[in-house]
Amino acid sequence: MTATNRNDAPVEIQGAGAELRKQELGGNMSVSFVRFAKGTDMTPAFQGMTDDLCPCPHWGYLLKGRLKMHTKDGEEIYEAGDAFYWAPGHAPEALEDCEYVDFSPTKEFDEVIDHVKTQLG
């Protein structure tokens, strides 16, 4: 598959203020369509991973809202209209209702998704 959209991408995570739909594109990369309700903090979902943060890199675009990204070096705020690169070692917290699209290495992101699913129960 070389193209997809939010409605066609399968739901991988839903609940606790988060929805993540993901589709593999081109073999090694996946696109994700992510929504967080205001106040959603993903930090607890990464407990047990390296530095208790997401170890997968992401490249993307914030479509809506404001997001605080927690890292071991501090915090950074992203706003609608920002293109981003999130290096390994981060955890998002929604300051407003957020929507973004990101691209990630499939294998690494699948491992993160599996971990998050166990943490969210």
Backbone region of residue 71 per phi and psi (left: phi > 0; alpha: psi in -120 to 50; beta: other values)? beta
Two structure tokens written together for 119: 């943490």
**What average pLDDT does the segment 42-65 reach?**
97
Q: Nearest 5°: phi and psi at 98?
A: -125, 150
pLDDT at 11: 97
**What average pLDDT does the segment 44-52 reach?**
95
- What tens digit of pLDDT does each residue of 73-120 get? 999 999 999 999 999 999 999 999 999 999 999 999 999 999 999 998
Q: What is the pTM of this model?
A: 0.94
* Domains located in the chain, CATH noted: 11-120 (2.60.120.10)
